[in-house]
Structure 1
Amino acid sequence: MTSPPAPGPASPPGSLPTTSHWGAYSVRPGTGARGGPGGAPHGDLGIRPHPADPSPSPLLRNIDGALRHPTRVRRPAVRRGWLEHGPGPTDRRGREPFVEIGWDEALDLTAAELARVRDEHGPTAVFGGSYGWASAGRFHHAQSQLHRFLAQFGGYTASRNSYSLGASLVLLPHLVGAAGAQAVLRAASSWPTLVAHTELIVAFGGIPAKNVHVTPGGVTRHRTPGHLDALAAAGTRVALISPLRADLPEGLDTDWHAIVPATDTALMLGLAHTLLTENLHDRAFLDRCTTGFDTFAHYLDGRADGTPRSAEWAAAICGLDASRIRTLARRMAASRTLVTVTWSLQRIQHGEQPVWAALALAAMLGQIGLPGGGFGHGYGSMGDVGDHGPQLRLPYLPQGPNPVGEFIPCARIADLLLHPGGTYEYDGETRTYPDIRLVHWAGGNPFHHHQDLGRLRRAFGRPDTVIVHEPHWTATARHADIVLPATTTLEREDLGGGRRDTHLIAMHRAVDPVGEARDDHAILAGLAGRLGFGERFTEGRTPRAWLEHLYGSWREELRADGTDVPEFEDFWTAGDYELPSERADFTLFEDFRRDPVRHPLDTPSGRIEITSGPVAALGLADCPGHPVWLEPDEWTGGPAAGRHPLLLIANQPATRLHSQFDVGALSLDAKVAGREAVQLHPADAAARAIRDGDVVRIFNDRGAVLAGAVLTDGVRPGVLRLPTGAWFDPVPQQDPREPPLCAHGNPNTLTADVPTSRLTQGCTGQHALVEVERYTGDPPPVTVRRPPPLLDGATVPRHRHRHRPTVHPHPDRPETP
């Protein structure tokens, strides 16, 4: 992978500081930068990583080429059918040209439609879609801006949890309590603690280095790569449990267990059975600090159902040798051992089970609460897991309460749109899907995150209207009715900082907005003015005044605690502020281990719940009351297992964050034959006459994708790896009900839109059963790197839209800092 530019001085002359989810950097625009005519020219930004960053992210290479790429949305645009015929369900979204119009007309139409839906169907009929990854800024945080607007508008149906770890966010509070869940996810043992104390890491899903540069809000000092080097120097052994060798960096003392994907729980049970039957478990810890172990033990030894979960039983499922399983269990018992599970393992059907089984396995070792031992979740999944930076609350934009109480788990968006009035179970409740008539989306791309994109296309056809704020013509924008061009980070001012970040960054505006793009705040202020609450939304502040206000309030909080924080202007001129340090590790589990009576967990028993009475009482076959092995339905539920014999892993890309900047240089350089690269084992390729660099067709009953073949023995035979994030590019079809063919290689064309379980309703987009073949003939072109057809607004007639609100006497314009 190509390295990013080398760090330079903190603020070289003429450079401007900013940050991103993958790290802080400075920009020195070229002659066309702000202050000169026309904006910064393509490829002339002079990007330099923050000088304090010991391991800058390669993703910085994507910024230059994406800023003014042809896919930027330059003017407000409306789908032709919506403009001519008005709102209503349709299968034409994603298949029609757009009409470019002026901002006044776009805001009038948008405000009128919001008012119509609210007044005719109630605010519950509005879905406020946003996933929060659009910007690292604290003020121009699209999710906060949109939710603040919709809350003042009258309310909206919201989403809850995340695609990244939807199962864990619901499950862990049942097992270790709400505070314990936060300690696991946000205050895990630091890397220095692991370096000092850990002898063996059993890494289910590995510790993928490609993910550690990313954290919401950014990481100024990327220290994890250095800590991994320190683990190697300390001689820490790592058992890599993954079908992908790249899930652990080279250099560590690694024992690679190339497991069958989705069978980690079976392996954990086989390890636990060995600990139990060879009396290697810590019975004293289990009696003192856990509840429900005996029930779990009866499942392990077969007394519950006649099937011992032995090493031999596990070996037959997970494709490893039984002797290796027993040897690993004995090494775990003889070492200071950390059992860690990546977030990816819970993004499968029954994804609760590997998390729960790993916690039970760590409890059997009796090392939870010991430095460098116990249970971890997310090392290598995000840059802040294991980091020892401060955990200060940073400046944020208040959203206000949502008057509507309805919500969905975020991975159920297609079900919400397709099944209004339908019921579903979630965390012990039976809930009903509202009837959504309008989707307002800002700061996210569901056609990246969601599964079964053919089904999502059908779901997006059901609302009356879809409104999207977007910088680029992504698939989400192309499946909208009204597209409002949004600025990127470099085109506005903000405050930047992430979880456990070491710095607050002054994000300077470096270039003029592309075309007529406006920031989300300006867009929403324009709508709020037309809907009668503009002053309440803006509070009379410009964006710069908001930055000063948010910073000032935060500064006073820190000063009250005795921390000296500079005035805003001094901070803005300096470009950053180094945050005060805090204690490296959280002590919740240390205190609990020392005295679980005086320091109980906030679970029903006050202890770790190896068996959960409340979960068991729900009677869910897909998530019983203790860890169990459950096969994915697709493996046994029909002919797919025979017709589609390969298992596709759709994991996070190394060349971009999710789908962001897929048109950037680093992302484009990694394409093969202009499409996303799929890795497959040479034996699987030879059986199908596939050669390195061939265009291949990967398919199942949900759809097909074209990708470029990369042969490697770094994947287990029978496994394909196709990362997520290639912009969805469906080939035009006569019948929109046909399974789609994505010419670009988006794996969510193939993944199943089913929940992890009825308990958590999480995302299952990590795996799919597929077949692959060499594509013969001329493959269809990739079209997503150019805009959709755009028409001149003067040539298209308008539908007579009802419910036009009174326009504010001073039409809102983009704010100039």
Structure 2
Amino acid sequence: MSLRPSTSHWGAFSAAVDADGRVRVAPHPEDPSPSPLLGNLADTLRHPTRVAAPAIRRGWLERGPGPDPARGHEEFVEVGWDEALDLLAGEFRRVRDEHGNQAIFGGSYGWASAGRFHHAQSQLHRFLNAFGGFTSARNTYSNGTSTVVLPHIVGGSTEVLRNGSSWPTIVENTDLLVAFGGVPEKNVFVTPGGVTRHHTPGFLAQLGERGVEVALISPLRADVPATVKPRWYPIRPATDTALMLALAHTLATEGLHDREFLDRYCAGYDEFERYLLGVDDGVPKDAEWAAAITELPAADIVALARRMAAARTFVTVTWSLQRIEHGEQPVWAGIALAAMLGQIGLPGGGFGHGYGSMGDSGDIGPDFRVPYLSQGVNPVEEFIPVARIADMLLNPGTRYDYNGTVRTYPDIRLVHWAGGNPFHHHQDLNRLREAFSRPDTVVVHEPYWTATARHADFVLPSTVSLEREDFGAGRRDTHLIAMHQAAEPFAQARDDYAILAGLAARLGIEERFTEGRSPRAWLEQLYESWRKPLRDKGIDVPSFVDFWAAGEFRLPSENADRTLFADFRRDPLKHRLPTPSGKIEITSRRVHAFGYDDCPGHPAWLEPTEWLGGARAARFPLQLIANQPHTRLHSQLDGGAVSQAGKVAGREAIRLHPDDARQRGITDGEVVRVFNDRGSCLAGAVVTADLRPGVVQLPTGAWFDPVGSLCLHGNPNVLTADLPSSRLSQGCTGQHVLVEIERYGGTPPAVTVGRPPRIVRR
């Protein structure tokens, strides 16, 4: 078997497929730290949950479109492609004619494939735009809160999220790395489009070798890799903002802040300092105040602030901290703290956001746009913040605040989903099940029988990356990879392009969607259109034929020494920030004018609902952290070997401190029931001292396996609250939830997600 080049969101590789459909994988030879997630690919082509043929929910076939509480509970009927697409085309026409294009929601999230042509979100949005438009979603579950608040602070989000200081600059120049949320190595293997050379694990190792001090501020010890020897501050979850304010208070009261920097480069510091000192509310945000909230010793807080002022200090905040109620505050407070130190724009100093959250944060690869498929223009202006999908479906016509505007949820009749699994990303899954019962029709493209597919009316079997041709590269990737087809499509599976082209032909928009091109013709056209301006700049880019034969093209490199806001620091007038003041806005008069009580005009401590210091903790005394898994990307390939090896007693593993386990009579390896008033799930207990008492950790992404309000498999989003971060961003708050845990008595029911739902063939 010859190995063929390909790539994934977790790295480039070569693959061969044997006669039984088993995949043999070899990582890219230049990758210094290949992702262990490549091990999930072996059994993906013939997994028992592959969708073999178009399937329609029996109730939809018999009763027609309309809201239906049976959605997610009924059997499916396999039909031929022509029947499925004919019925679906009729439904598209009906919804458009009776309700308008704004009644169609295009719900793709974009993680389905690293390929840039067979990018599910681009394919679906291009089709829906050709049909007259659709209600869309903005921002992401990952960093949707930051994406909205950062423009108010520094004028945009791209510089901070994509062009932050590079790891070589940090390793070489930083004396003290203060890591709020840590720098979790498990996440650095993943980037949209892939990473051919995973540099970050090596840079993390160099931090330890060089002796850079690391202050790990997290309830989880594993939030920095073993190669780093940090000072661990096991903070009470959801209280990072209080700690940042106390550090800032110490800097201000001891004269350790850089007034010259604050005056020249920042706006609104004086208002913020009044808040720190408690001038208006009578509550100084000092170390003693923060100690009661964070449960960190006041002396340690003061000592850390003094050390930060005495060293070249880099303050980093993970994305996880903004995926909570009031998630804007730790991002804003982190920038304010770094500004008070006066080191923003200096090598090894300043602020970073997302280090350890994504593989390209701080990476040294080129910031290079690779070929991509145009989605066209959406004539429909309606959109929702992405994490408000259930609110929209349950509450059409309801008004809500968003980033200074008042919007209204549209009345959605048809949901079309291709690429993504909202029953992984979203919170309060029992509420989401109810929401999915409200539209007239739900359409899903899926290779596997995920929970999203099981809650659809039309399930259209789609191919996986190894069953088609494409090319891929991630942000700051070093290579553009030719993704050769390694296997024939499974059963009747088709790629999203073929599915949508067939539907477009029935709706009279085929030429607008396909422009008469096959997938191979599109690859050639996109590549050559991208190649020409590069060649005009003197960059030697091979022809498509030569690129395809070689299997890759090394992208032009760039200087690895990159410092965030260095130009702004050198000349704040010439390189003024796109904020109203042109400066870093420690206080934003614009946000203040919005009048949001859950997001004031400067960083502030706002007590969340789901935290151990609140009244709710009396009923549910454990703080569950629902972070990203180390065995898969989100919920992708949960049936793969690496993901399955991480299960305990056949369920997702939940980690808890020995003290908490002892109090509940729980031993390592037991099945436990995790519950609150929203739902419950079964999980396998792992007892470990690598997290603080009162905290448990259950990663997201176990395929949702509901029986009533109980998930048999351990999906934490059956427990999380479907509430926004604030009225400003309407972002996701799924990182934290209060729960209780008990031993499961008796024989636990079997997990069922490893086999398809009931299917009738006619």
TM-score range, shorter chain: over 0.9
SS in 1 for 2:582: coil
Q: Does 1:546 align with 2:522?
A: yes
Match of 1:76 among 54, 77, 87: 54
Match of 1:657 among 614, 625, 633: 633
- Taking the aligned partners of 2:564 and 2:325, their CA distance within structure 1 comes to 31
Instruction: For residue 720 of structure 1, report the CA deviation from its aligned partner.
Output: 0.6
Instruction: For residue 388 of structure 1, report the CA deviation from its aligned partner.
Output: 1.2
Match of 2:175 among 199, 209, 219: 199
Instruction: For residue 139 of structure 1, report the CA deviation from its aligned partner.
Output: 0.2
- Taking the aligned partners of 1:252 and 1:461, their CA distance within structure 2 comes to 48
- Taking the aligned partners of 2:93 and 2:50, their CA distance within structure 1 comes to 29
Matches within 5 A, 1:686-765: 686-731=662-707, 733=708, 740-765=709-734
Identity %: 70
* 1:165 matched residue in structure 2: 143
* 2:752 matched residue in structure 1: 783
- Taking the aligned partners of 1:502 and 1:634, their CA distance within structure 2 comes to 41
Encode CA deviations 1:760-797: one digit per residue, 9 max, x unaligned.
Answer: 0000000000000000011111000100000023xxxx
Structure 2 residue identity aligned to 1:535: E
Structure 2 residue identity aligned to 1:344: S
Structure 2 residue identity aligned to 1:439: V
Q: Does 1:124 align with 2:109?
A: no
* 2:128 matched residue in structure 1: 150
* 1:187 matched residue in structure 2: 163
Instruction: For residue 234 of structure 1, report the CA deviation from its aligned partner.
Output: 1.0
SS in 2 for 1:67: coil
Are the equivalent residues in 1 in contact too, given 2:611–2:623 (CA < 8 A)?
Answer: no
Encode CA deviations 1:684-714: one digit per residue, 9 max, x unaligned.
Answer: 0000000000100000010000000000000
SS in 2 for 1:46: strand
Match of 1:615 among 577, 581, 591: 591
Q: Does 1:424 align with 2:393?
A: no
Instruction: For residue 595 of structure 1, report the CA deviation from its aligned partner.
Output: 2.0
Encode CA deviations 1:648-695: one digit per residue, 9 max, x unaligned.
Answer: 000000000000000000000010010000000000000000000010
SS in 2 for 1:266: helix
Are the equivalent residues in 2 in contact too, given 1:129–1:439 (CA < 8 A)?
Answer: yes
Encode CA deviations 1:565-585: one digit per residue, 9 max, x unaligned.
Answer: 011111101100000112335
Encode CA deviations 1:737-759: one digit per residue, 9 max, x unaligned.
Answer: xxx10000000000000000000
Matches within 5 A, 1:671-690: 671-690=647-666
* 1:445 matched residue in structure 2: 421
* 1:323 matched residue in structure 2: 299
The two structures, once aligned, show a CA RMSD in angstroms of 1.1
Matches within 5 A, 1:545-624: 545-586=521-562, 589-624=565-600
* 1:768 matched residue in structure 2: 737
Q: Does 1:18 align with 2:6?
A: yes
Are the equivalent residues in 1 in contact too, given 2:169–2:563 (CA < 8 A)?
Answer: no
Are the equivalent residues in 2 in contact too, given 1:25–1:47 (CA < 8 A)?
Answer: yes
* 1:808 matched residue in structure 2: none
Q: 1:100 to 1:318 in 2, by over 3 A?
A: same
Structure 2 residue identity aligned to 1:366: G
Encode CA deviations 1:492-538: one digit per residue, 9 max, x unaligned.
Answer: 00011110000000000000111100000000000000000112211
Q: Provide structure 1 residue ranges, at least 5 long, that are not aligned to the other structure.
A: 1-12, 33-40, 734-739, 794-817
Instruction: For residue 393 of structure 1, report the CA deviation from its aligned partner.
Output: 1.0
Are the equivalent residues in 2 in contact too, given 1:187–1:585 (CA < 8 A)?
Answer: no
SS in 2 for 1:616: helix
Q: 1:639 to 1:629 in 2, by over 3 A?
A: closer
- Taking the aligned partners of 2:161 and 2:239, their CA distance within structure 1 comes to 23
* 2:449 matched residue in structure 1: 473
- Taking the aligned partners of 1:85 and 1:573, their CA distance within structure 2 comes to 52
Are the equivalent residues in 2 in contact too, given 1:183–1:586 (CA < 8 A)?
Answer: no
Q: Does 1:174 align with 2:174?
A: no
* 1:37 matched residue in structure 2: none
SS in 2 for 1:253: coil
Matches within 5 A, 1:289-688: 289-586=265-562, 589-635=565-611, 640-688=616-664
SS in 2 for 1:754: coil
Match of 1:58 among 32, 36, 40: 36
Are the equivalent residues in 1 in contact too, given 2:651–2:683 (CA < 8 A)?
Answer: yes
- Taking the aligned partners of 1:124 and 1:376, their CA distance within structure 2 comes to 38
Instruction: For residue 641 of structure 1, report the CA deviation from its aligned partner.
Output: 2.1
Are the equivalent residues in 2 in contact too, given 1:236–1:253 (CA < 8 A)?
Answer: no
- Taking the aligned partners of 2:424 and 2:615, their CA distance within structure 1 comes to 28
Structure 1 residue identity aligned to 2:17: P
Structure 2 residue identity aligned to 1:591: D
Q: 1:348 to 1:779 in 2, by over 3 A?
A: same
Encode CA deviations 1:223-258: one digit per residue, 9 max, x unaligned.
Answer: 100111111111111000000000001122310000
Are the equivalent residues in 2 in contact too, given 1:397–1:550 (CA < 8 A)?
Answer: yes
* 1:108 matched residue in structure 2: 86
Encode CA deviations 1:122-181: one digit per residue, 9 max, x unaligned.
Answer: 000000000000000000000000000000001100000000001100000000002xx2
Are the equivalent residues in 1 in contact too, given 2:164–2:563 (CA < 8 A)?
Answer: no
Are the equivalent residues in 2 in contact too, given 1:699–1:771 (CA < 8 A)?
Answer: yes
- Taking the aligned partners of 1:568 and 1:635, their CA distance within structure 2 comes to 55
- Taking the aligned partners of 1:74 and 1:583, their CA distance within structure 2 comes to 48
Encode CA deviations 1:365-419: one digit per residue, 9 max, x unaligned.
Answer: 0000000100000000000000011111110001100010100000000001000
- Taking the aligned partners of 2:574 and 2:124, their CA distance within structure 1 comes to 43
* 1:85 matched residue in structure 2: 63
Structure 2 residue identity aligned to 1:770: V
Structure 1 residue identity aligned to 2:85: L
- Taking the aligned partners of 2:637 and 2:111, their CA distance within structure 1 comes to 12
SS in 1 for 2:230: strand
- Taking the aligned partners of 1:588 and 1:69, their CA distance within structure 2 comes to 45
Structure 2 residue identity aligned to 1:514: F
* 1:288 matched residue in structure 2: 264
Instruction: For residue 620 of structure 1, report the CA deviation from its aligned partner.
Output: 0.6
Instruction: For residue 275 of structure 1, report the CA deviation from its aligned partner.
Output: 0.6
Instruction: For residue 304 of structure 1, report the CA deviation from its aligned partner.
Output: 2.0
Bigger mean CA deviation after superposition, 533-542 or 51-60: 533-542
- Taking the aligned partners of 1:253 and 1:691, their CA distance within structure 2 comes to 29
Instruction: For residue 590 of structure 1, report the CA deviation from its aligned partner.
Output: 1.2
Are the equivalent residues in 1 in contact too, given 2:139–2:386 (CA < 8 A)?
Answer: yes
Report the TM-score, using the length of structure 1 for normalisation.
Answer: 0.92
* 1:67 matched residue in structure 2: 45
* 1:137 matched residue in structure 2: 115
SS in 1 for 2:44: helix
Q: Provide structure 2 residue ranges, at least 5 long, that are not aligned to the other structure.
A: none
Encode CA deviations 1:76-117: one digit per residue, 9 max, x unaligned.
Answer: 000010111101101111111100111110111111111110
Instruction: For residue 636 of structure 1, report the CA deviation from its aligned partner.
Output: 9.4
Structure 1 residue identity aligned to 2:140: S
Instruction: For residue 638 of structure 1, report the CA deviation from its aligned partner.
Output: 8.5
Instruction: For residue 280 of structure 1, report the CA deviation from its aligned partner.
Output: 0.6
- Taking the aligned partners of 2:318 and 2:613, their CA distance within structure 1 comes to 27
- Taking the aligned partners of 2:714 and 2:17, their CA distance within structure 1 comes to 34
- Taking the aligned partners of 2:203 and 2:138, their CA distance within structure 1 comes to 33
- Taking the aligned partners of 2:55 and 2:188, their CA distance within structure 1 comes to 37
